[in-house]
Amino acid sequence: MNFKSKISQIIENDLQTDAKLQQICDVLKNNYPHFHWVGFYFINGTKQELKLAQFAGTPTEHTIIPFGKGICGQVAVSNKNFIVQDVSEQDNYISCGIDVKSEIVIPIFQKDKNIGQIDIDSHDKSPFTKEDEELLEYICEKVATLNLDGIINQPPF
């Protein structure tokens, strides 16, 4: 299956934005065996924090993440991809579960502003490839074309 074309189909369909984001999470989690948790975090209005939006996988208590904290919070500040092949080697890591061994986070930009990210957790060590990173970058570029105002400006959970 060509996942880029599948993602493009989801982005272009007539669903609401939140349903599109949920479909992306589900497609990734169900088709990539090393993607055990897939979710989107977006900036929480004017606050210096991220809030969890759609996800696929075990629910997490980390629905709000301050900028700078954990891998997601660091990406909110650095504006750069962050691939951690072994989370035990990270000092500034927020554990989402004892099974998580690695994480990849890719920022989403609209008008040159980091407005969110896609976050993938894996129960495997060193599973993420350059192809995974490129696919997630493509997804983030596509998600950036959506009207995310309702998601970014929602009150926190």
Domain of residue 9 covers 3-149
Q: Check which CATH number belongs to the domain holding 109 and give it.
A: 3.30.450.40
Whether 129 is covered by a domain: the verdict is: yes
Whether 154 is covered by a domain: the verdict is: no
Question: Is the per-residue pLDDT at 118 higher than 80?
Answer: yes
Whether 155 is covered by a domain: the verdict is: no
Assign 3-class secondary structure to the chain.
CCHHHHHHHHHHCCCCHHHHHHHHHHHHHHHCCCCCEEEEEEECCCCCEEEEEEEECCCCCCCEEECCCHHHHHHHHHCCCEEECCHHHCCCCCCCCCCCCEEEEEEEEECCEEEEEEEEEECCCCCCCHHHHHHHHHHHHHHCCCCCHHHHCCCCC
4-19, pLDDT tens digit by residue?
Answer: 999 999 999 999 999 9
Q: What is the mean pLDDT of residues 104-119?
A: 96
